[in-house]
Amino acid sequence: MILVLLGAPGVGKGTQAQLISKEFSIPQISTGDILRKEVKEESELGKKAKTFMDSGGLVPDDVIVDMMEKRIKESDCANGFILDGFPRTIAQADALDKMLEKNNLKLDSAILVDVAQDKIVERLTGRRVCEKCGAVYHIKNNPPKKEGICDLCGGKLIQRDDDKEEIVLNRLKIYEELTQPLIAYYSEKNKLKKVDGVGAIEDIFKRVKAVL
């Protein structure tokens, strides 16, 4: 199964992708997570990406496409994968189509997780992530059992630099301009499945499974 998860920053793409990954035993490929790892390691790619990420802007398409072409060829992708945060522009979606075609693969669905903008800011400013394993929490909606500590691996929970309110607002603006057109793109290809992203995480996951 090959899936794309679409939706504005903070709608819960990563949260749902982790659940889908566990249920269907396919890897979650999060471009944001890959880029943050590169930034932490101060690699050439990380240095290039950092300036864009810090302001909430998008990393250039050619950098992302190159990175994803390599990633989907890795052995854990043999039975499918979930793309979380890619594609994010029409140029990236076209590149993904070509990549899949070249490797004799087919996209099953693009799942749009839909949440009104006013709820998103609260979700992002309250988000905490494990610096060790990447698990995602929310201080009110999805707190860890012990404050500041990951339930899964005991790692420290931190706030992402781009989850500060002014940067969140810029990310939302960029989403509207560059990523929202993908809704029509996948709808025209009859791949779009829309899921209401408001409610308990488990209920949203039931909705996701129902459309798959």
Q: How far is the CB of 104 from ligand AP5 (least distance, A)?
A: 23
Does residue 128 carry a catalytic annotation?
no
113 closest CA partner among 20, 15, 14, 195: 195
Catalytic, out of 36, 128, 171, 207: 171
Catalytic, out of 88, 123, 128, 193: 88
Q: How far is the CB of 60 from ligand AP5 (least distance, A)?
A: 7
- Cβ nearer to ligand AP5, comparing 11 with 26: 11
How are beta strands 127-130 and 136-138 bridged, if at all? Answer: antiparallel
Residue nearest to ligand AP5 (CB): 32
- Cβ nearer to ligand AP5, comparing 4 with 104: 4
Give the three-state DSSP class for 48.
helix
Element (H, E) at 57: none
Does residue 160 carry a catalytic annotation?
yes
Q: How far is the CB of 183 from ligand AP5 (least distance, A)?
A: 15
Peptide bond into 143 cis (omega under 30): no
Tell me the sheet residues that pair with 207.
Answer: none
- Cβ nearer to ligand AP5, comparing 37 with 191: 37
Does residue 127 carry a catalytic annotation?
yes
- Cβ nearer to ligand AP5, comparing 80 with 126: 126
- Cβ nearer to ligand AP5, comparing 71 with 191: 71
Does residue 171 carry a catalytic annotation?
yes
- Tokens for 53? 């990420």
Give the DSSP letter string of 145-171.
SSTTB-TTT-PBEE--GGGSHHHHHHH
11 closest CA partner among 199, 153, 139: 199
Does residue 88 carry a catalytic annotation?
yes
Rg (CA), the chain: 16
CA–CA gap between residue 95 and residue 2 (Å, rounded): 15
Name the site residues for ligand AP5 (rule: CB under 6 A): 7, 9-15, 31-32, 35, 52-53, 56-59, 64, 85-86, 88, 92, 123-124, 126-127, 136-138, 141-142, 162, 171, 199, 201, 204
List active site positions: 13, 88, 127, 160, 171
